[in-house]
């Protein structure tokens, strides 16, 4: 427990997101603003969905545990749908902003492309989602306490961290795909993103049966990553070029 | 002659100066003038040759660049300036939250109260508590209004020395006494043994360097750091000594006051801004956080033309101004000299970024909000939500400033968002996220 678990879980959950932030977002002020606005939109969606859940809870019998559980599951799915709605709303806002920037600039470009905005928006959603899931757990992991003292799983912290990492990356990929789908008006892409999000949330309902939730979620993350890479213009050729460039750099420096 | 004209000349509208207003609030000991109103200065850069002798409001100086290009440049530079404000606001909040979470002194409830909130909050009766907090708020706001009006009157009648003395006294108190208290509490928390001589040395050095940096000259980063630290200290004092409900009502009331004071035609802050614009001088930069270098102001001082980076130039300007007012005779000579330097510096400033300024009161109230969010319970989600809400509010305020190009208050939007998010996250999101975390469901 305590410090080792705290740092371990913190790095697992937030390491990649932090690295992505530092290397791709931090230098450009516009991207930072888009990131924070993305986080804000995710927060809004969470607020509305918890409002709905709260009303449902208050209107129902608090003693009936299965009902409460059912309402929580309903809350989960509703929240997922609302997140996607807010992602779409954010897309519309960003499009308006790009149009505005493009209209007033001399050359036809704007400072940031839609693809970059998609990535940053997705990252913003992911970071906020991860932070909200993980931060309280991290502060509890500093101790003192005993994990699973009432018979729950021993692996609570590490699975929470792994799940958070997966979700952060997934939100990033979904952001890219979603915006791409909206740009090209490919509604099946959007539908796929939404249904995959629902699927992932549904898989998490299988917890604490971690075999049922974590590996499938990671497989989905990998698939999403590949899909997002190809959808945003990457190709095997560019990967190849990247590898050879690194090899050349390495050879030249050594 | 007006040395602050040189400041005007180099105001570069490309840098989308956004200075946000914030109300003047009394300090703990009635000495410190915490937040200062600032003007919004999206002034166009005057053509170099004509700017020297022109008085008059900014609006008349319209540069020749077409609107679109200027707007795009504004937006391009606007993002940079938003970030230049995000960072110090974030740092201040981080300092406050870190202190709150670790040093228990600032969250211990005491029966001591500020004299500005004389009514005690009785936790037993909701109605009484609400009434008392509203009364406390009214007392506090009226004190603030009175202070602001006094400040405006003093400024109007050019009692600069008095204002200066007031500011110096209050920053003395902050830099020495409050930091001594803070250090003492930190040592107590971490059980660090400290002797008085070392402590006196530390506090003395800290305080004196702070006074120099803030009121005179110093490296930009050091000055920024000091301003952040004193804002954090002041916020911590408020968090400790304001009663629970009063703090929230005061936050709400002060953003409404800010809105009224800045936007209404007879509002004190608006009058302050207009007076300053009429006189072509900036308002009390002594307690304003400035995020960028001000090159040419060094040029304004005829005694040291190569003073390079000067970030706190108010005193110098004011001294020069005072000197100028007293020496009418040598005016024309000085004018020529100033003109030469101003021209040079204005050109140099073509490439220099003006940066943005934000009042320290805004820092303080943002940190009070986030700090109070951190105080209640162990919930980090609420703190994070308030933090994001405040940043977005700041972003929106700066956007509005870039669009409207006139003085706007920095508090209302951020504080409104912050309050909305605090209460909704605390009451709605927290139980939801707790239940989700208990079952390890992920959304």
Contact check, Cβ <8 Å, A129/B443:
yes
B258 in catalytic set: yes
Q: How far apart are CA A83 and CA B46, in angstroms?
A: 48
What's the CA angle centered on A56, arms A52 and A60, to 5 degrees?
170
Q: How far apart are CA B93 and CA A121, in angstroms?
A: 24
The 10s digit of each residue's pLDDT in A180-190 is: 999 999 999 99
Task: Give the ipTM.
Answer: 0.92
From B9, B301, B362, B426, active-site residue: B362
Task: With residue B247 as reference, give the H or E element that holds it.
Answer: helix B244-263
**Pairing mode of beta strands B19-21, B357-359:** parallel
Of residues B26 and B338, more confidently modeled: B338
Contact check, Cβ <8 Å, A201/B75:
no
- Residues of chain B found within 8 Å of residue A111, distances taken between Cβ atoms: 76, 79
Scan for tokens 């390890």, then name that residue.
B440
pLDDT of residue A108: 52
> How many angstroms separate the Cα of B289 from the Cα of each of A10, A67, B44?
33, 54, 22
How many domains does chain A contain in total?
Answer: 1
The percent of residues above 70 in pLDDT, for chain A, comes to 96
pLDDT of residue B293: 55
Q: Which domain holds residue A76?
A: 1-253
The 10s digit of each residue's pLDDT in A51-108 is: 999 999 999 888 888 999 999 999 999 999 999 999 999 999 999 888 776 766 555 5
Contact check, Cβ <8 Å, B380/A136:
yes
Q: How far apart are CA A74 and CA A162, in angstroms?
A: 24
Contact check, Cβ <8 Å, B433/A201:
no
**Least confident stretch, A80-84, B290-294, B327-331:** B327-331
Strand partners, B289: B358
**Least confident stretch, A202-206, B4-8, B78-82:** B4-8
Q: How many CB pairs below 8 Å do chains A and B form together?
A: 121
The 10s digit of each residue's pLDDT in B253-290 is: 999 999 998 888 888 888 887 888 888 876 665 677 87
From B258, B349, B353, B426, active-site residue: B258
Laid out side by side, the sheet with B408-409 consists of B288-290, B357-359, B19-21, B408-409
pLDDT of residue A151: 82
Mean pLDDT of B418-437: 94
B5 in catalytic set: no
Separation of first and last alpha carbons in chain B: 65
**Minimum CA–CA partner of A39 in chain B:** B388
Query: Of A76, A136, A205, which is closest to B437 when you measure between CB atoms?
Result: A136
- Residues of chain B found within 8 Å of residue A129, distances taken between Cβ atoms: 443
Query: Cβ(A229)–Cβ(A112) under 8 Å?
Result: no
Of residues B118 and B433, more confidently modeled: B433
pLDDT of residue B404: 82
The 10s digit of each residue's pLDDT in B132-191 is: 999 999 999 999 999 889 988 988 898 888 888 988 998 899 899 999 999 999 999 999
Mean pLDDT of A199-207: 91
pLDDT of residue A81: 96
Q: Which of A36, A131, A213 should one mutate to test binding to chain B, selecting the residue with the greatest count of B CBs within 10 A?
A: A36
Query: Cβ(B278)–Cβ(B156) under 8 Å?
Result: no
pLDDT of residue B76: 55
Q: How far is CA B315 from the centre of its chain?
A: 17
The 10s digit of each residue's pLDDT in B69-82 is: 555 555 555 788 88
The DSSP 8-state label assigned to residue B58 in this structure reads: G
Smallest Cα–Cα separation from B344: which of B38, B109, B6?
A: B6
**Least confident stretch, A206-215, A219-228, B344-353:** B344-353
- Residues of chain B found within 8 Å of residue A162, distances taken between Cβ atoms: none
pTM score > 0.90 for this model? Answer: no
Of residues B346 and A166, more confidently modeled: A166
Query: For chain B, which residues make up each domain, given as ranges?
Result: 66-302+332-439
Smallest Cα–Cα separation from B318: which of B175, B178, B204, B165?
A: B165
Contact check, Cβ <8 Å, A133/B433:
yes
A54: Cβ–Cβ under 8 A, 6 or more apart, which residues?
B427, B428, B431, B432
């Amino acid at each position: 427990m305590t410090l080792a678990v705290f740092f371990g879980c913190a790095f697992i959950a937030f390491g990649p997101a932090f690295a992505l932030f530092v290397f791709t977002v931090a230098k450009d002020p516009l991207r930072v603003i888009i990131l924070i606005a993305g986080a804000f939109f995710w927060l809004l969606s969470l607020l509305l969905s918890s409002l709905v859940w709260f009303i449902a809870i208050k209107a129902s019998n608090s003693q009936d545990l299965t009902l409460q559980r059912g309402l929580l599951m309903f809350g989960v799915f509703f929240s997922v749908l609302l997140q996607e709605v807010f992602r779409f709303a954010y897309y519309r806002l960003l499009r308006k902003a790009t149009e505005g920037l493009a209209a007033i600039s001399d050359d036809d470009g704007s400072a940031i492309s839609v693809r970059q905005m998609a990535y940053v928006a997705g990252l913003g959603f992911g970071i906020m989602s991860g932070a909200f899931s993980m931060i309280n757990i991290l502060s509890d992991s500093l101790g003192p306490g005993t994990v699973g003292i009432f018979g729950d799983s021993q692996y609570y912290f590490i699975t929470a961290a792994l799940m958070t990492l997966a979700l952060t990356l997934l939100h990033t990929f979904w952001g890219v795909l979603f915006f791409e789908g909206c740009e090209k008006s490919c509604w099946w892409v959007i539908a796929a993103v939404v249904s995959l999000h629902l699927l992932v949330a549904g898989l998490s309902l299988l917890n604490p049966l971690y075999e049922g939730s974590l590996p499938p979620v990671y497989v989905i993350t990998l698939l999403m990553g590949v899909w997002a890479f190809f959808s945003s213009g990457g190709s095997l050729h560019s990967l190849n070029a990247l590898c050879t460039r690194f090899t050349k750099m390495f050879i030249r420096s050594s | 002659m007006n040395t602050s004209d040189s400041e005007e000349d180099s105001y570069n509208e490309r840098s989308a100066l956004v200075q946000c207003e914030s109300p003047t609030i009394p300090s703990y000991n009635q000495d410190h003038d915490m937040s200062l109103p600032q003007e919004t200065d999206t002034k166009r850069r005057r053509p170099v040759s004509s700017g020297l002798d022109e008085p008059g409001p900014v609006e008349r100086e319209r540069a020749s660049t077409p609107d679109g290009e200027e707007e795009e440049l504004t937006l391009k530079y606007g993002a940079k300036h938003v970030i230049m404000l995000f960072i110090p606001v974030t740092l201040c909040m981080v300092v406050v939250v870190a202190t709150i979470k670790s040093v228990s002194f600032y969250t211990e409830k005491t029966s001591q109260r500020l004299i500005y909130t004389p009514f005690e909050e009785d936790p037993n009766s909701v109605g009484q508590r609400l009434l008392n907090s509203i009364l406390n708020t009214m007392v506090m706001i009226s004190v603030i209004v009175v202070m602001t009006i006094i400040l405006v009157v003093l400024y109007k009648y050019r009692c600069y020395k008095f204002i200066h003395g007031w500011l110096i006294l209050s920053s003395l108190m902050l830099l020495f006494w409050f930091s001594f208290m803070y250090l003492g509490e930190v040592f107590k928390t971490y059980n660090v043994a400290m002797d008085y001589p070392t402590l006196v040395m530390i506090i003395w050095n800290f305080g004196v360097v702070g006074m120099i940096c803030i009121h005179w000259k110093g490296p930009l980063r050091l000055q920024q750091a000091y301003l952040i630290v004193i804002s954090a200290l002041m916020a911590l004092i408020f968090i400790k000594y304001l009663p629970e409900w009063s703090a929230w009502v005061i936050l709400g009331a002060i953003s409404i006051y800010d809105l009224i004071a800045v936007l209404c035609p007879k509002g004190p802050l608006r009058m302050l801004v207009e007076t300053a614009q009429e006189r072509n001088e900036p308002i009390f930069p002594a307690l304003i956080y400035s995020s960028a270098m001000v090159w040419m102001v060094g040029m304004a001082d005829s005694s040291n033309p190569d003073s390079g980076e000067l970030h706190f130039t108010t005193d110098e300007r004011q001294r020069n101004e005072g000197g100028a007012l007293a020496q009418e005779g040598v005016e024309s000579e000085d004018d020529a000299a100033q003109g030469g330097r101003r021209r040079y510096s204005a050109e140099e400033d073509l490439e220099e970024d003006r940066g943005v300024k934000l009042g320290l009161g805004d820092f303080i109230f943002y940190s009070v909000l986030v700090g109070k969010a951190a105080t209640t319970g162990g919930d980090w989600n609420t703190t994070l939500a308030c933090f994001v809400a405040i940043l977005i509010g700041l972003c929106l305020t700066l956007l509005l400033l870039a669009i409207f190009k006139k003085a706007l208050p920095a508090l209302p939007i951020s504080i409104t968002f912050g309050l909305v998010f605090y209460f909704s996250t605390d009451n709605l999101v927290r139980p939801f996220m707790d239940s989700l975390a208990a079952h390890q469901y992920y959304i």
